[in-house]
Every structure is written in C-alpha cells, then in structure tokens.
Amino acid sequence: MAAHLAQLGQVPVGALTLPPFDRKTLLRKLGQWGVHDVARYAWTKLTQSNAARGGQLRNPFLESFVRNGEQIFSNLHQVARAFGFPVAVCHDQNSNRAVTLLKGWAPDLMIFTGGNILRKELLGVPRLGVINAHLGLLPQIRGMSSPEWSLLEDVPPGITLHYIDSGIDTGPVLLKREFPRVAQCQSLDELRNRLIAYGVELVGEVVLGLNRGMISAQVQSDLDKDHQFFVIHEWLRVRAENRLKESSAAWTAERQHG
C-alpha cells in the first residue's frame, strides 16, 4: 500500500506497524478462529517472511505495486528507505505512545491495513479520517470472511473503500466496486489475493480523488438490517469454493465457445 501511494506521488508522512507476530492479534484470532486456523495463520506469516527474503511474493498480484525499477520491495522498511518516511513499530495501535506519534505526524488521512480494532482517540487524529479497504460490498457484506460470504449470499465479490467509525464496517462509503475477474479465479485463496491487490489499486484512486476534491463520502443506508458475518465454518468454506469453481467453469466454457 505504502509503495503504491508513494509511486503515485502521495508519499506517507509515516507508517505505524505491529510486530509480525503480535501477541494481541494472535490471541484475538485464537478466540475467533480456534487453534487450527491460528496455526495456519502463523505459518502463513512465517512463509511470507521467508518468501520475501528470497525475493518471492506470497501474493503475486501485488508485484506491480511493489516493483520499483529493477527492485521488488519485500517489506515496509525497504519502501520507507526508498521514499524517505519513518516507520514505527508499536505493540498497541491505540496506546498513548502510538496516538502521540500519529499526532506528531499530523496526517490528513490514514489508511488502515489491518491490526487491532481502532479506538475513538486514534480515529480522531487525521483531519479527514481513517480509510479501510473492505473485501466485500457494503452494507450487504459486513464483518469477516467477506469473499466467502459474498459467494454464499449471491452478492458479487468486490471492494468497498469507507471511513472507519465506531461500528463494524458501518462508516461512510467513498467507493464501492464489484471485482470484474471473479470467474477467472481458480480458488478462494486466489480470489482473496486478487481482491487485496484490487483494493490497493482502488485506495490509490480514492486518495488521488480526495486530494483533487473529486470524491465525497456517502452515509451507508439499510444499516438497521443485520448483515454482519463472522468466521466461516469449514464446510461453508467448501461450499463457497464450489460456487467459485462453478463460476470459473462457466467463464471458461463461455471463452471456448466465444
């Protein structure tokens, strides 16, 4: 995200990041996911780190965003050195230290890319607000496992850029767009990776639009209905994968006969 914004001329004034194996994040995910999925999450983090050191990307769809000439950025610190902005590691994004640091940077806008739930004091730091790229269309698909629930609920997978408020994915929407290449995805992992890359692209579009005064936020409607989803059971994930494969098969058949 930082590399893409910097290459668009929107160099961050700073970046606040959690440690790779943040204790609070792991404990929260343990309560949400269970031991098996947390172990898989930790293994993913480890293999991602090893791949980065070897010059490989776990998400190949991000390559265009992290390539800088002949160099491919493998971590945030490399991006920061290349574009000249500071990086601070903090164990709690809502701590007094983190909030004080952010206030010192005095950002107009903050981009949330994951971590702990943000509290009111931190959300009030940037002049415009904090943006989140949600991997689903709001307000239909709120909460977790958004790509899977989108497939199960017959809602087109997509990305919503919105301001974060005190609710769960309830803040004003800046941009909402369906993902145009769902049928080309061969697995849920590929769909998620493509959506992440699409979200990075759209964040750049929104930041430039806000800078030019061409984008305004729209309050979400229909929030009285409960569209919040939670961790998905494995058998439901299999059903979502099957729906994705059906869509992919239909797309392949259409190409062959087109």
| In the chain, where the domains are located | 1-107, 128-258
Q: What is the DSSP letter of 8?
A: T
Rounded distance between C-alpha atoms, residue 170 and residue 152, angstroms: 21
pLDDT per residue over 171-202, tens digit each? 999 999 999 999 899 999 999 999 999 999 99
DSSP code of 180?
T
CA distance 139 to 192: 19
Taking Cα atoms as reference points, which of 106, 169, 179 lies closest to residue 132? 169
What distance in Å separates the CA atoms of residue 63 and residue 230, rounded to the nearest whole number? 30
pTM of full prediction above 0.75: yes
Q: Is the pLDDT of residue 122 over 80?
A: yes
* Measured distance CA(107)–CA(86) in Å, rounded: 13
Q: Across all residues in the chain, what is the average pLDDT?
A: 88
**Contact by Cβ (8 Å): 195, 114:** no
From CA 105, how far away is CA 86, in angstroms rounded?
A: 10
Structure tokens at 188: 């849920």
Question: Looking at the domain 128-258, which fold is it?
Answer: Rossmann fold (3.40.50)
